[in-house]
Amino acid sequence: MRLSVIGCGYLGAVHAAAMASIGHDVVGIDVDERKIESLSKGDAPFFEPGLQEILTAGIASGNLRFTTDMSQAAGAKVHFVGVGTPQQKDSYAADLTYVNAAVDGLLPYLAEGDIVAGKSTVPVGTAASLAERVSPTGAPLVWNPEFLREGYAVQDTIDPDRLVAGVPAGEEGERAASVLREVYHPSVSKGTPFIVTDYATAELVKVSANAFLATKISFINAMAEIAEVTGADVTQLADAIGHDARIGRRFLGAGIGFGGGCLPKDIRAFSARAEELGRGESVAFLRQMDEINLRRRERAVQLVVDGLGGSVFKKNITVLGAAFKPHSDDIRDSPALDVAVKLHGLGAWVTVTDPAAIENARRIHPQLNYVEDTDEALRGADAVIVVTEWDEYRRELSPEHVATLATGRVIVDGRNCLDAAAWRATGWEYYGMGRP
């Protein structure tokens, strides 16, 4: 089937390449000429495992191409809209400028029977509003939210755990859902749940999922705060309650909290939309979660300060990690970088290393020192703090080896991903998040 993907950022580029990899004829469209030039050459503009391979294969096969010309969307059966919805500068609300512009730009090239499939994360009510503008063309609008995990986005697009389609009522909606089933045939044929619902529910599925995950992370971080004043161990606490099948262990890792381009902005936008709907009290806890999340970054900084005797001024501190999570080069709202910047602000000489995100970090925070080689970054450190749980740090970092490089013996585990006993046995002062 011929498809167009409007917006070739993180979501759109992955979706376009993934759809081409399962046999569709795909054109990706974006206004950013540099991005399109890079993608057209087969160069992934960001780090995402598996993307480079399917991008290169799609272009070589002829199933995938990229352009800045919106008219090239004409003739596609399904038009996916996957542009960004950043947080507004002056409020918590989502900025729908790019979504509106994408839909308006697409309208002249729609034909009766086409389908416009929104994938962007939007406030509830957006799809119904857009449908009023799209329906006169004879092309129904559906809302098909994405549930990608950065670092696993290719896998989650090709083999999702569920598919959701918000469609208009009646036969028009049934036909649109049938076409989407055909688009996702490899997944549907394997039994992947395909949930057909109304616009509002489809929009809420996405933001509710993000809010729930953020709630779970924030809950265990709140318990870490209690553990720190009682002497309890939050990692053992998480293990114990995680055995309850109703709770589960996933997303109960206490640390410096969540970041990235989705969870923080999405829960803030959800809160803002609830206020607009007159139901702000229903999600008032989201504001508290945001506060907990930010406090944990401060706590990590304080542990470094405490470990160095009350001051980090003119101390050499190595920060392991810059991306907001492993297997990504995304530094948007990165807790790791926030911690590094805060330590720099206290007068420390901060050296940051990361397997993938150094260049992105350097562009935003040039005041920090960046080193690609981990050993070089650790050399002469008075204290070390792990803030992104890459395998290179979580599994491969030896306390004995680090001791031959660092000057001090202070290790702060901002992700509770290290073996505390092993580090302490080697003479390190180990500090965890919510751990004695």
Q: Which residues are catalytic?
A: 262
* In contact, 139 and 114? CB cutoff 8 Å: yes
Each residue of 402-434: b (16+ CB within 10 Å) or e? bbebbebbbbbbbbbbbebeebeebebebbbbb
Nearest to residue 320, comparing CAs of 401, 415, 400? Answer: 415
């001791």: which residue's tokens? Answer: 403
CA–CA separation, 88 and 364 (whole Å): 19
Mode of pairing for the β-strands spanning 78-81 and 115-118: parallel
What are residue 245's phi and psi, to 5 degrees? -60, -25
Half-sphere exposure of 106 (CA within 13 A, CB side): 38
What are φ and ψ of residue 351, in 5° steps?
-115, 125
Q: What are phi and psi of 376, to 5 degrees?
A: -65, -40
The position carrying tokens 């795909």 is 26
User: Are 328 and 254 a contacting pair, CB within 8 Å?
Assistant: no
Report the chain's C-alpha Rg in angstroms.
Answer: 23
The secondary structure of 289-307 as a DSSP string is HHHHHHHHHHHHHHHHHHH
In contact, 289 and 267? CB cutoff 8 Å: yes
Spatial distance between the Cα atoms of 307 and 241, rounded to a whole number of angstroms: 30
Indicate the SS3 state at residue 168.
coil
Give the C-alpha separation, 81 to 116, whole Å.
7
Asked if 261 and 9 count as a contact pair (C-beta separation under 8 A), the reply is: no
Amino acid at 239: D
The residue to which tokens 């993934």 are assigned: 18
